[in-house]
Every structure is written in structure tokens, then in C-alpha cells.
Amino acid sequence: MLATNRFVLAIYVDRSTRQWIVRDRDGNFWIVPPGEHSWEQREPFEPSDDTDLAPVPGHYRSLFQLPT
């Protein structure tokens, strides 16, 4: 049986570090810097139990050239 476990692409803000965080469709979290080619410059992010991610509307994804 084919199993899929895909996530909805989501953007967050980590207010404690003042960074944009993206969760990709595989469920991985990334720090995405602002500016040009931001998605290409992403770095892995590991949320901890204390991480408080605030959701950002999906239409902001164009600002980071995120994959559709």
C-alpha cells in the first residue's frame, strides 16, 4: 500500500530569535533569512519544547521564493 505523510507548507515566526521559520512538506523546519534567494540560503531548525512558533499567513511565502 502506498503511504503518504505530507505536511502542509507553513511559515512561522520564532519571536524569541526574531527569525522566519518554514516547515516544508516533509515536516522539516528551516530558518529562512530575509532577502533575495532566501529559500536557497535556508538552514535547518530544530524546534525545542520551549519553541513558540507563531503562524504567518501563507501568502507571505512569495517573499521567500518558497517552493509551491
Partner 1 sequence: MTAEHDRLEEARTQQKPWKKWGPYLSERQWGTVREDYSEGGDAWNYFSHDQARSRAYRWGEDGLAGISDDQQRICFAVALWNGQDPILKERLFGLTNSESNHGEDVKEYYFYLDSTPTHSYMRYLYKYPQAEFPYAKLVEKSRSRSRREFEYELLDTGVFDENRYFDVFVEYAKASPEDILIAITVHNRGPEPAELHVLPTLWFRNQWSWQGVSDRPVLRQAAGPAGQSTIQVVDPELGERFLDCLDDPALLFTENETNTERIFGVPNRTPFVKDGIHNYVVSGQVDAVNPQQTGTKAAAHYRLRVGGGQSETIRLRLSDRATTAPAAGNGRAHTSLAARFDEEFQQRRKEADEFYQAITPGTLSADEANVMRQALAGMLWSKQFYHYDVDKWLEERGSDPFKPQRKAAPRNEHWHHMYNGDVISMPDKWEYPWYAAWDLAFHILPLTLVDPDFGKQQLKLMLRERYMHPNGQIPAYEWNFGDVNPPVHAWATIFTYRLEAAQEGEGDKEWLKTCFHKLLLNFTWWVNRKDRSGRNVFEGGFLGLDNIGVFDRSAPLPTGGYLEQADGTAWMALFCQNMLEIASELAMTDPDYEDMALKFVEHFLWIASAMGHLGDDTGMWDEEDGFYYDVLRLPNGQAQRLKVRSMVGLLPLCAATYYTGDLLTQRPALAERLAWFLQSRPELRETIHDPLKPGVSGRRLASILDETRLRRVLEKMLDENEFLSEYGLRSLSRYHAEHPYIFQAQGQEYRVSYLPAESDTSMFGGNSNWRGPIWMPMNALVIRALIQYYAYYGDNFTVECPTGSGQHMNLYQVAEEIGRRLTNMFLKNSAGQRPVFGGAKKFQDDPHWRDCLLFYEYFHGDNGAGLGASHQTGWTGVIARILHLFATMSADKVLQGGKATFFELEVDPGLRAGSSQSGRAESARSVETARPR
Residue ranges binding partner 1 (CB under 8 A): 4-10, 13, 15, 18-20, 34-35, 54-63
From the list 45, 25, 21, the residue with the least C-alpha distance to 34 is 21
Query: 34 vs 47, which CB is nearer to partner 1?
Result: 34
As measured in angstroms, the least distance from the Cβ of 37 to partner 1 is: 13
Burial 34-52 (b: 16+ CB within 10 A, else e): eeeebeeebeebeeeeeee
Grid cell 507571505 is found at: 60
As measured in angstroms, the least distance from the Cβ of 27 to partner 1 is: 10
As measured in angstroms, the least distance from the Cβ of 60 to partner 1 is: 8
